[in-house]
Structure 1
Amino acid sequence: MPEFKDQLGQVFTFEKAPSRIVSLVPSQTEMLYDLGLEEQLVGITKFCVHPFHLKSTKKIVGGTKKVHVEKIRLLQPDIIICNKEENTPEIVASLRGIAPVWVTEIVTLEDSLEMISQLGMLFNRRTEARKWIDKINHAKQDFDRFVKDVPIRKAAYFIWKNPWMAVGSDNFINEMLSTNRFANIYSDKGRYPEVHIQKIRIQGDPEIVFLSSEPYPFNEQDAFEVGRCTHHAKVVFVDGEMFSWYGTRLVKAFAYFRQLQERIS
């Protein structure tokens, strides 16, 4: 019986490829669809918005931090796909009595490519996985050539208000900031630090401040509030999916990053 290992090192054995999948991570739901597994997907979260039609054709089993365990149980899944950051240890533990729970851990681009490869093997979609990995690598190489002469600029990336929370280190968004040649002023403050924007000048004085479209709905007043605490920083609203969604979304993300660089240059 073939063995498979997830990114936490857990070993799984399956007699055949799982054919009933519950996905509790939006970016991974999109990736599974792109690997040709739409028919096998039986349950998704309310945040799984790509592709849009899945919300009307698949069972919604809750969010990423709070799931309806009984709804998942009734779907009789062969496997449940989670992520170490997106889903809590309590959720993972509560689901292990229903089906094997595969957990991904994504911090770097390499982690994302490994995940695509692993799930391609698990679901007998090796060819499709290889095509997407090649597309992402090509897009990344093209973008690297585009930004190689762009100067490194200090930046802050906010994801929440009340309290203000920024992106720190050891997460995928910080990896994408680095890829864009942005030096994160909060990279030494933990993963998602609470910060006082009134101290932003002494904490790094960024040239650019990003306000993400998710999970908090920032508005123009928020941009004004944080902007006046800086030393003439440019405040930019950005598509949070492009910075935080891993998997096949990366092909679109690198095209978006190119447009963003042109916008702020």
Structure 2
Amino acid sequence: MKRSFTDQLNRNIEINFPPKRIISLVPSQTELLFDLGLDKEIVGLTKFCIHPIEKFAERTKVGGTKKLNIDLIRSLKPDLIIGNKEENEQKQIEMLMAEFSVWMSDIYTLEDAKKTILHIGELVDRQPEAAYLNHLINAGFNDLQTLALQQGIDKKVAYLIWKDPYMLAGRNTFIDDILALNGLQNVIKQSRYPELELEALVDLKPDLIFLSSEPYPFKQKHLEEIRTLIPDAKVMLVDGEMFSWYGSRLVKAVQYLFQLQKELL
């Protein structure tokens, strides 16, 4: 049966419903598909789609999120490809759109993420499962916001995602929204992911500096380097998946962020 859907770029796509051969091009959305109860329908994913690891090992890898193997994707004959505007490279996505049904997400806030979970649930015929995930996410993040207010968490933070050059999460990003929901004020006023010298970061006087585990894998040695340069800030290694994965990983992120809030008191 053919059904039409509108993606988050406001494009109409038509798919064989429910889809039987799905390729996911984004790690957080791949994990969501498995958590919605799909299994054999997922025929391809990227080399970064590592959760759940046992499913990752069994599936065809179609390249990286920004460097896809288009010929391999063609050989898998997908009836649905699911990507994301920020994560995937526009030219490659447009090539795929010319040949396949491609549904794209576009996410900047927790509310966007919850809408995406519902949309993907509808797309793959898993609406009840998607609604239940959102119920858990709603309850958890409502409690996180309440706790942040009750505990008076109100700190200025810089969130580093890359080194050489240093890049930070700025405004109009999913990470910025997750920080704000936990009582943390982003010192970066620029949009998206600006480059910044550490000397300039000193002048912004952050209370906290978070070094993300992804996409750049910051380690203890980087923490010590930055702590030496900016001794007045508390420098911490944080799990990037818990701040930037906008699918079912948000359920696990709640407990992680509860623990983080305790560490900040």
Give the shorter-chain TM-score range: over 0.9
Partner of 2:62: 61
Partner of 2:98: 97
Classify the secondary structure of the residue corresponding to 2:206: coil
Partner of 1:153: 155
Tell me, yes or no, if the aligned pair for 1:206 and 1:230 is still in contact at 8 Å: no
Note the 1:1-265 alignment, pairs <5 A: 2-149=3-150, 150-186=152-188, 188-202=189-203, 204-265=204-265
- The amino acid of 1:55's aligned partner reads F
Q: Which has the higher helix share?
A: 2
- Aligned residues between the structures: 263
Q: What is the rounded CA distance, in whole Å, between the counterparts of 1:15 and 1:241 in structure 2?
A: 32
Classify the secondary structure of the residue corresponding to 2:53: coil
Tell me, yes or no, if the aligned pair for 2:15 and 2:80 is still in contact at 8 Å: no
TM-score by length of 1: 0.96
Aligned-pair CA distance for 1:173: 0.7
39-48 or 230-239, which moves further after superposition?
Answer: 230-239
**Structure 1: where are the runs of 5+ without partners?**
none
62-71 or 117-126, which moves further after superposition?
Answer: 117-126
Q: What is the rounded CA distance, in whole Å, between the counterparts of 1:105 and 1:253 in structure 2?
A: 20
Runs of 4+ in 1 over 4 A off after TM superposition: none
Classify the secondary structure of the residue corresponding to 1:216: coil
Q: What is the rounded CA distance, in whole Å, between the counterparts of 1:132 and 1:28 in structure 2?
A: 13
- The amino acid of 1:238's aligned partner reads V
Q: What is the rounded CA distance, in whole Å, between the counterparts of 1:154 and 1:200 in structure 2?
A: 12
Q: What is the rounded CA distance, in whole Å, between the counterparts of 2:131 and 2:44 in structure 1?
A: 25
Q: What is the rounded CA distance, in whole Å, between the counterparts of 1:205 and 1:171 in structure 2?
A: 21
Classify the secondary structure of the residue corresponding to 2:112: helix
Alpha-carbon displacement from aligned partner over 1:33-54 (angstroms, at most 9, x marks no partner): 0111112100000000100012
TM-score by length of 2: 0.96
